[in-house]
Structure 1
Amino acid sequence: MKMPEKIEPAMFAPCGMNCLVCYKHCYHKRPCAGCLNSDLGKPEHCRKCKIKDCAKEQNLTYCFECPSYPCRQIKLLEKSYNTRYYASLIENSRIVHKQGLTEFLDKQREKYTCPECGGIISIHDGECSECQHKVW
């Protein structure tokens, strides 16, 4: 899958994840439309996401809008992403909150575009979805 010219705002999940760089999105035959859209095409763990459901129940778009942020669920996910992928979803959310979603997604586009072919580099395995070039 090639990196689009512009990342759609719906690809920024309530938890702080850029769904476009998720390996399930990159390699799925029918990519999902992001956590803020329908569950069509989503893997099971995304359809049953407690974080997404919690934000929806509280009428929030993003978890950082919640007075309890970061909650236990976010902290657990953050620990996992810090350890496994050297990424911070809390930092992503902080940037969106302070600088805006457009600026954040523009930086994500630069960071996760394959320098070899313009494909999407997965945050989960550092591999391009198009040419399988390993970036990290």
Structure 2
Amino acid sequence: MKMPEKIEPVMFAPCGMNCLVCYKHCYHRKPCAGCLKSDQGKPEHCRKCKIKDCVAKRQITYCFECPEYPCKQIKRLEKSYNIRYHASLMGNSQMVKEQGMAGFLARQKEKYTCLECGGIISIHDAECSECQYKLSDK
């Protein structure tokens, strides 16, 4: 899958994840439409996401809008992403909060576009969805 001209805001999940760079989105013929849309095409853990259910129950869109942010669930997910993928979902949320969604998504496009072919670099395995270039290869 090639990086689109513009990343749509609906691809920003309540937790701070950019769904466009998720390995499930990158490598499937019918990628999911993002956390904020239907559950069609999503892996089971996304369909059963407690964070998504929580924001719906609280009638907010993003976790950072909650007065209890960051909650235990967000802190646990943040720790996992820090360790496993060297990424900060809370950092993403802070950037959106401070600089706006459009600016954040533009920076995400720069960061996750493969320089070799224009594909999408997955946050989960640092590999291009098109040419399988791995960030660690060079």
TM beyond 0.5:
yes
Runs of 4+ in 1 over 3 A off after TM superposition: none
Q: Amino acid of the residue matched to residue 29 of structure 1?
A: R
The answer to whether structure 1 residue 94 and structure 2 residue 94 are counterparts is: yes
The answer to whether structure 1 residue 53 and structure 2 residue 53 are counterparts is: yes
Question: Could you say what the CA RMSD is over the residues aligned between the two structures, in angstroms?
Answer: 0.5
Q: Amino acid of the residue matched to residue 78 of structure 1?
A: E
Structure 2 matches for 1:16-27, cutoff 5 A?
16-27=16-27
Quote the Cα distance in structure 2 between the aligned partners of 1:51 and 1:69. Answer: 11
Q: Amino acid of the residue matched to residue 66 of structure 2?
A: C
Deviations 1:96-123 (A, max 9, x none): 0010000000000000000000000000
User: How far is 1:29 from its partner?
Assistant: 2.1
Q: Amino acid of the residue matched to residue 65 of structure 2?
A: E
Q: Report what 2:115 is aligned to.
A: 115
Q: Report what 1:103 is aligned to.
A: 103
Query: Secondary structure of the equivalent of 2:13?
Result: coil
Structure 2 unaligned runs (5+)? none
Quote the Cα distance in structure 1 between the aligned partners of 2:3 and 2:76. Answer: 29
Structure 1 unaligned runs (5+)? none
Quote the Cα distance in structure 1 between the aligned partners of 2:78 and 2:28. Answer: 24
Structure 2 matches for 1:30-69, cutoff 5 A?
30-69=30-69
Q: How many residues align?
A: 136
Q: Percent identity of the aligned residues?
A: 76
Q: Report what 2:72 is aligned to.
A: 72
Task: Provide the TM-score with structure 2 as the length reference.
Answer: 0.97
Q: Amino acid of the residue matched to residue 133 of structure 2?
A: H
Query: Secondary structure of the equivalent of 2:15?
Result: coil
